[in-house]
Amino acid sequence: MENSGNPARPVISVLGLGHVGLPTALGFAEMGWEVIGADDDAGKVALIKSGKSPFFEPGLQPLLTKHLETGRFRLSESVGEAIRASQVVFVCVSTPQKEDGSADLSQVEAVARNIAQNLNGYKLVVSKSTVPAITGQWIRRTISRFAESYRRAAGASSKNGSFEFDVASNPEFLQEGKALENIFQPDRVVIGVETDQARRILETIYQPLKCPIVVVRISTAELVKHAANAFLATKISFVNMVADLCEAVGADVGEVAKGLGLDPRIGRQFLQAGIGFGGSCFPKDLRALIYMAEEHGVDCGILREVVRVNLRRTRLFVKKIQKALWVLRGKTIGIWGLAFKPDTDDIREAPSLKIVKELLGEGACVRLYDPKAMANVQRVLPESAAQVTYCQSAEEAARGAAALLLLTEWKEFRDVDLASVRSAMDVPLLIDGRNFLDPHAAIAAGFEYHCVGCAVATDGIK
């Protein structure tokens, strides 16, 4: 692979082929660009090269098959080679959490050094990972410093002469389960740039999408991403607090959320009460933002509360189960849904797993079912094998149970025949952690039905 160097049709490399990188790479291929994907994990690269997506994301597998065939998406075993063969480098590596809550940027730094070592012409280095608001500056500094020292070490005759590069930030707003929808119909594309050349290249790349492009400075773009996640997480913790109030006074949080969300200044989305938010972004990004704010002496008290409310959700839910069942020790509990949300097999920071672990700690036995996340769950729960049964279907998970918990709102749970589920259970108790099922249907099927933030009971809707 060599850098073809045509600025009108830049070759794009995407470094890091996880939940952000792989959909992003295939999205660019679908938009007509030539894309090279690379990752340090050789096993993952080999799997993708063989045509298999390493995780479940709606629509991703067919797009991978399509663009391996069109040749617009190809894989490289070497990150350095992918950098050399491209003019625009999208950095999509992960930024995991350190013990103290701050973002671990070592993978971003390693990529910056790799870019410095492989500068063979102009490069635009675009950060897509969610990073603290000064990371762009560090990427620029790191590439400059290391490019200089590599050049000196290689001697004046080196082909790695003094090449220009730009740094940019183009935060992703991808929701797992909707990644391709978010890529092809984005509300906006945010690009943070320092030069006209960088702006022109990114505008060209995104031109096929015909959506608003917000052009700002790099640190602003980085902060937009953090602020968006923090605001959405705040909405969820807010509605969960309202749900607790609803339970206390006999109101219905679903109706409150509807009345609230119809005000366009508030909006209806992200007002779904339940067992709290999880996933790879909100919990981690909130902690990183709080850490960053405090480092700058900025009081982020609101966000600390958002985290605190969320941490209490799973404990409160287990209390609700205890209240309905009294003693948990020795009871069998069926669980519907384990992924942190539907349409993904991702279980990172899933509230469902915290609930399962608390139930196991209380001595209960669980029968687990999720349409996509079973393999991932089996990897993290092996030690509790005696108390855990892995099931193949929603019906099987309910068999012989003293209670059934709905923890992830997979669509298929709405299609299950509740009457036959009820007859397979020892006790017809259904606790809906996502307010997803129709309470009337559950009660008509003979269930005692509980949900979050509304006073629905056994014998009819109050």
Which residues participate in catalysis according to the annotation? 281
Q: Which two tokens stand for residue 241?
A: 């607090």
341 binds ligand UDX (CB under 6 A): yes
Judged by beta carbon, residue 14 or residue 174, the one nearer ligand UDX is: 174
- Asked if 36 and 76 count as a contact pair (C-beta separation under 8 A), the reply is yes
Reduced to 3 DSSP states, what percent helix, strand and coil does the chain have, rounded to the nearest 5? 45, 15, 40
- Core vs surface per residue 160-194: b (16+ CB within 10 A) or e: eeeeebbbbbbbbbbebbbbbebbeebeebbbbbb
Q: Which of 442, 399, 439 is nearest to 418 (CA)?
A: 442
The binding track of 162-201 with respect to ligand UDX, each residue x by CB under 6 A or -, is ----------xxxxx-------------------------
> In the complex, what is the shortest distance from the CB of residue 19 to ligand UDX, in angstroms, rounded to a whole number?
8
Minimal distance, residue 228 CB to ligand UDX, in Å = 6
**Of the two residues 118 and 314, which places its CB atom closer to ligand UDX in the complex?**
314
Give yes or no for residue 433 binding ligand UDX (CB under 6 A). Answer: no
Q: Which stretch binds ligand UDX (CB under 6 A): 30-38, 267-275, 317-325, 367-375?
A: 267-275
Given the complex with ligand UDX, which of 39 and 57 has the nearer CB atom?
Answer: 57
At 175, which amino acid appears?
Answer: Q
Measured CA to CA, the distance from residue 188 to residue 252 in angstroms comes to 34
Q: Does 336 bind ligand UDX (CB under 6 A)?
A: no
Shortest approach of ligand UDX to residue 267 CB, angstroms? 11
**What SS3 class is residue 334?**
strand
CA distances (Å), 144 to each of 42, 109, 123, in order? 28, 12, 12
Q: Using the rule CB under 6 A, which residue among 127, 229, 234, 376 binds ligand UDX?
A: 229
Q: Which is nearer to ligand UDX, 182 or 389 (CB)?
A: 182
Query: Shortest CA distance to 290 belongs to which of 354, 226, 235, 242?
Result: 226
> Which lies closer to ligand UDX via its Cβ, residue 122 or residue 184?
184
Taking the complex as a whole, how short is the minimal distance between the CB of residue 351 and ligand UDX, in angstroms?
Answer: 7
- Angle among Cα 52, 55, 58 to the nearest 5 degrees reads 90
Q: Which two tokens stand for residue 418?
A: 């509740």
Stretch that binds ligand UDX, among 62-70, 275-283, 352-360, 424-432 (CB under 6 A): 275-283
Q: What number of chain residues touch ligand UDX (CB under 6 A)?
A: 19
**Interface contacts to ligand UDX, rule CB under 6 A:** 172-176, 229, 232, 236, 270-272, 274, 277-279, 281-282, 340-341
